[in-house]
Amino acid sequence: MWCLKQFKIFKFLKMRRIINNLRKQPERVRRHILHVVTLIAGGVLGMLWVYSLGTSLSDPDTQAKIENELEPFSALKASLVDGYQSISQ
């Protein structure tokens, strides 16, 4: 229990040192760090999203559901194409 408490205090002090060091940096450097951290976090989230899509889209039930949901759009597309062709003739 004592060791865990010491570890938490150490982590808190280390984080405090990092934050104070960042506050001392010029605005340009802080913005650069912000952009890099944001891009890395976005990349990680994007990779997780793509990974989750790959597992869910490969399911045969999902494939059938997607095809059924796209039928109204294909009918709409066909009617729009027919309407355009009748106008252009």
Phi and psi of 46, rounded to 5°? Answer: -65, -45
pLDDT (tens digit per residue) in 55-87 = 666 667 776 776 666 666 666 777 777 777 778
pLDDT (tens digit per residue) in 13-30 = 788 888 899 999 999 999
The domain ranges of the chain are 60-89
Are 24 and 33 in contact by the 8 Å Cβ rule? The answer is no
Average pLDDT of 40-61? 82
Q: Which residue has the higher pLDDT, 46 or 54?
A: 46
Read off the pTM: 0.51
Q: What's the CA gap between 18 and 30, in Å, rounded?
A: 12
